[in-house]
Structure 1
Amino acid sequence: MAKDKPSKLKARSPRGFADRGPAELAATRTMLETIRKVYELYGFEALETPFVEYTDALGKFLPDQDRPNEGVFSFQDDDDQWLSLRYDLTAPLARHVAENFQDIAKPFRSYRAGWVFRNEKPGPGRFRQFMQFDADTVGAPTVAADAEICMMAADTLEALGIPRGDYVIKVNNRKVLDGVLEAIGLGGDENAGRRLTVLRAIDKFDKVGVEGVRDLLGEGRWENPEAKSGDFTKGAGLDERQINSLELFYLGYAQHPQELFMVARDAAADDDYSVLTDNGLTAFPSNSLQLATYLERFPEGHPAHEGFKELKAISDLVRAAGYGTNRIRMDVSVVRGLEYYTGPVFEAELTFEVKDEKDRPVRFGSVGGGGRYDGLVGRFRGEAVPATGFSIGVSRLASALSYLKEKDAAPDYGPVVVVVMDRDQSAHYMKLVGMLRQAGIRAEMYLGNPKNLGNQFKYADRRNSPCVVIQGSDERQAGTVQIKDLIEGAKAAAAITDNTEWRESRPAQFACAEAELVAKVREVLDHHGVPHGAALG
């Protein structure tokens, strides 16, 4: 009787998670270093917090609480304590500050970069694991801290190579939002849950459009509205009058972003302009004069009055520092879906267009955001602790930056490969590799089966190696090596049609003394603009 063969395990990655290759990792590493330099220029210092926190320390602030476990990956410790993977970098910071409150200098300025995890339904461009890079100021009640965060966000995007006019930092205030919601009958503690549902609905405008937001403000929305199928998200239950009022104030403005982007590109630093939407409503005030006018419409003590007052102060500060509305602009469409924001909220939006896989024009939209959260640290201390911060979505921004690269940008070349001609001479080949590495040149010895030389060259091609080093017994006895320039060889090969000519010409291959190996390889790399490092030691 034949034995049953063991079943073969299927190789598959979990939904919502992804592997990352060397090119993506290298681009991310470069981007993180650029962001770090800007953050440190502003006086922020590095901090690292664990991936795992006590669940109650993280709090329940996620915008998608209709998902399993309210959007958080959680598990129980051996002492029955609930632990969770962090869903952002702000809640762990609040815990760190509260735990070390007496020992840290305040205001406490820190930056953190790392992975965060959300137990949400994955989809196109929506991952369960993604990287953020945050900067926060804790202990500063003045809106000057918020203005500084906005200026730093603008400087960071430009340092990453995004031209002025291709981005805008948009600023709003949760107090203004509270005032508007109060005006339509959603004030008071009894409506706190509905207010949050409304804010999250408006925050999804970019994803679901006006009709989708109207559904979420009303009874709710199906994932596939036309077929009324898929997941159903319960709405805020507003009536038609309330929905229409919110559409006029928020969505009427948000429907015309291209008009605003055109103005942002053309605007000078004097800020003397306003934008009209198609329904005739004046868009959110863009300059200090308009902000002052809006202030007069609300009595002192009204949430919106305080909100506009803070926005006017931020506007005055950033303008005084030379940041015009083509870089930082007050904008009513900014909501931010997280519950813990208490004051100014910001969003970094890319305004340039790219083509999707169907050659349709699309915009990347938001690549980062943040705001003031004066109650988050206070949960641990029983008193309000002022705090404000900004978070960059690293993966999303990296994808956007890839579209800005020049089409003829230099390829990402791999290491120089030393091929193995004689199995018993591995130590000598490793010596050649060591000479290159000591000189700061990326290099490796072929570690596969050396029997077939053709396979070694195929390997070098797949690694995108700029050149290979060849040494057989004859070259070793003569103290020489052969260097094959694979880049130049590929160009020459395109012009050769005869196999005999190919074998006889050995295009772009030359000999040199073993002692000249490093210098000659450097010449090849420099000729093609392939970067290499300084000598070790």
Structure 2
Amino acid sequence: MAKQKKQPRPKAETPKGFRDYFGAEVSQRTDMLRKIAGVYHRYGFEALESSAVETVEALGKFLPDVDRPNEGVFAWQEDEGDWLALRYDLTAPLARVYAQHRNDLPTPYRRFAMGPVWRNEKPGPGRFRQFYQCDADTVGSASMAADSEICAMLADTLEEVGIPRGDYIIRVNNRKVLNGVLETMGLSDEEQRAAVLRTIDKFDKVGADGVRELLGKGRLDASGAYIDGVGLSPEQSEPVITFLTSKADSADGTLTNLRAAVGTSEIGAQGIAELEQIADLLAAQGYGPDRIVIDPSVVRGLGYYTGPVYEAELTFDILDDKGRKRQFGSVAGGGRYDDLVKRFTGQEVPATGVSIGVDRLLAALHAKGRLSAETEGPVVVTVMDRDRMADYQAMVAELRQAGIRAEVYLGNPKNFGNQLKYADKRNSPIAIIEGGDEKAQGIVQIKDLILGAKIAENATLEEWKERPSQFEVPRDQMVARVKEILAGQD
């Protein structure tokens, strides 16, 4: 009988484009989600948790900001023949939920949602196939007050999670203004209009001159390769450049420049009027240009949105992998998408919303040193006598009942040094020791690990021998002294 081949062991590796998150990262994300949810809730939005899986038909035939229709999702076919996919964002599921339950929901329906989304795209540095989003949307209101409220809430959210005023700016634009520009250019061919939109999306990378070249004959890119242009004449291209460079020192100045860019276009004038309403509503709430500005250079996602669009950008500098200064960039974006629910109902349903990239925000706070790579671990009750585990469990229960994070060492207690190494690895603030002698005397030893680490770094050997970071207290005072030490460490 032939010998069966041994099954190879599976590789212990994370799939490409995914990553694992450990203690501190998970805790920090949870804390951020709690703060964001608090702001959303304060603004009157209700939580919604929809399915992570949708039918491919319900998700639609496009991804925002992706040029490849029907690409970018993780999908599979059921035995019954239906195609299902993991959600690629939280907005497409909202459209399905609202269309399905609209008779039972209030109008407008204001919801927020938080959770992971999945995109089957090529991964890159800082770009993963699974990431967290925090969305807030208002469905069923065409009022610009809904859009201004989203912008105000976004500003409040950034400040709530630790981005102070002056370190961010929220920029607002309107797709209708761009439609007016395209109308002024005399472009009726849909393929040509799409090419112009793709070119405009490159404004932040190539600037006005680069856009001008790409709208015309083309240009050499950084690698030396020649990129064919759209083929417009200089006269046709100029309204786009005027539009992209319309930002002035004040909202009124910017709106005046935009009026020149759209000329007599009715849809363009409507977009400018909407921007003017948003600016007035924000000013009435006390949100000035130090936080929110009208900025025509916000072009991202204009193929997806139908009206106002907004983007939150962090303005402080960080160092890249090569030590060069660069701005951190965008952490949130959104806008009005009045056509999304229509796919299900056949009727236009106005909607507007914003999505915050949680992982991006966390990375920004780490880059600014506002978040530590580690979080404080539990108080560790060491085990000096394995036959007295009940005593140690009673001690840790008292600590937990007092609201203190604590655990008993559950490894091999034979080597006490290993227990302290474990506590250090857990970033524990305190270790508690009770051997047979301490038990007989009715005391415990409390070791302040934070202070001990500082002394070990800076003190002489003689100073260390005095061990000021370790002391004994009566057993019935253990909880009170631990609270006192933790308060001092904070």
TM-score by length of 1: 0.82
Give how far 1:42 is off: 1.5
Distance 1:58 1:469, change over 3 A: same
Distance 1:241 1:212, change over 3 A: closer
Distance 1:44 1:365, change over 3 A: same
Q: Count residues with an aligned counterpart.
A: 489
Give how far 1:15 is off: 1.8
Distance 1:343 1:31, change over 3 A: same
Give how far 1:451 is off: 1.5
Please say if 1:323 is aligned against 2:323: no
Listed one character per residue, the Cα deviations across residues 299-337 of structure 1 (whole Å, up to 9, x for unaligned) are 766221111121112122222222222222111111232
Give how far 1:17 is off: 1.3
Where does structure 1 lack aligned partners over 5 or more consecutive residues? 254-281, 530-537
Please say if 1:525 is aligned against 2:489: no
- Partner Cα separation in structure 2 for residue 183 and residue 10 of structure 1: 59
Give how far 1:173 is off: 0.8
Give how far 1:442 is off: 0.7
Give how far 1:380 is off: 0.8
Give how far 1:375 is off: 0.8
Give how far 1:288 is off: 3.4
- Partner Cα separation in structure 1 for residue 213 and residue 24 of structure 2: 42
Aligned to 1:414: 377
Aligned to 1:353: 317
Listed one character per residue, the Cα deviations across residues 178-235 of structure 1 (whole Å, up to 9, x for unaligned) are 1222333433xx41x443443344334445667876787679999x96275xxx9x97
Report which stretch shifted further, 31-40 or 437-446.
31-40
Question: Do the aligned partners of 2:132 and 2:358 also contact (CA within 8 Å) in 1?
Answer: yes
Distance 1:460 1:210, change over 3 A: farther
Amino acid at match of 1:457: L
Amino acid at match of 1:23: A
Give how far 1:444 is off: 0.7
Amino acid at match of 1:526: A
Aligned to 1:511: 472
Aligned to 2:59: 58
Give how far 1:446 is off: 0.9
Question: Do the aligned partners of 2:215 and 2:237 also contact (CA within 8 Å) in 1?
Answer: no
Aligned to 2:365: 401
The structure 2 residue matched to 1:435, chosen from 387, 398, 422, is 398
- Partner Cα separation in structure 2 for residue 92 and residue 86 of structure 1: 7
The structure 1 residue matched to 2:447, chosen from 470, 484, 488, is 484
Please say if 1:426 is aligned against 2:363: no
- Partner Cα separation in structure 1 for residue 236 and residue 417 of structure 2: 69
Amino acid at match of 1:476: K
Listed one character per residue, the Cα deviations across residues 50-91 of structure 1 (whole Å, up to 9, x for unaligned) are 111111111123245456951111111221111111111111
Aligned to 1:367: 331
Where does structure 2 lack aligned partners over 5 or more consecutive residues? none
Distance 1:513 1:402, change over 3 A: same
Aligned to 2:414: 451
The structure 2 residue matched to 1:465, chosen from 425, 428, 431, is 428
Report which stretch shifted further, 142-151 or 298-307.
298-307
Aligned to 1:344: 308
The structure 1 residue matched to 2:223, chosen from 212, 216, 226, is 226
Report which stretch shifted further, 156-165 or 306-315.
156-165
Give how far 1:5 is off: 6.8
Question: Do the aligned partners of 2:378 and 2:406 also contact (CA within 8 Å) in 1?
Answer: yes
**Identity fraction in percent:** 55
Q: What secondary structure does 1:83 align onto?
A: strand
- Partner Cα separation in structure 1 for residue 120 and residue 373 of structure 2: 39
Aligned to 1:475: 438
Question: Do the aligned partners of 1:433 and 1:443 also contact (CA within 8 Å) in 2?
Answer: yes
Distance 1:6 1:382, change over 3 A: closer
Amino acid at match of 2:147: D
- Partner Cα separation in structure 2 for residue 302 and residue 102 of structure 1: 35
Give how far 1:171 is off: 1.0
Aligned to 1:85: 86
Aligned to 1:203: 201
- Partner Cα separation in structure 2 for residue 205 and residue 428 of structure 1: 68
Distance 1:68 1:387, change over 3 A: closer
- Partner Cα separation in structure 2 for residue 422 and residue 390 of structure 1: 57
Listed one character per residue, the Cα deviations across residues 359-411 of structure 1 (whole Å, up to 9, x for unaligned) are 2111111111111111111111111011111111111112112334459x897
- Partner Cα separation in structure 1 for residue 228 and residue 56 of structure 2: 27
Aligned to 1:164: 165
Question: Do the aligned partners of 2:203 and 2:297 also contact (CA within 8 Å) in 1?
Answer: no
Give how far 1:247 is off: 6.4
Distance 1:5 1:72, change over 3 A: closer
Amino acid at match of 1:489: G
- Partner Cα separation in structure 2 for residue 300 and residue 66 of structure 1: 31
Give how far 1:293 is off: 6.8
Distance 1:475 1:361, change over 3 A: same
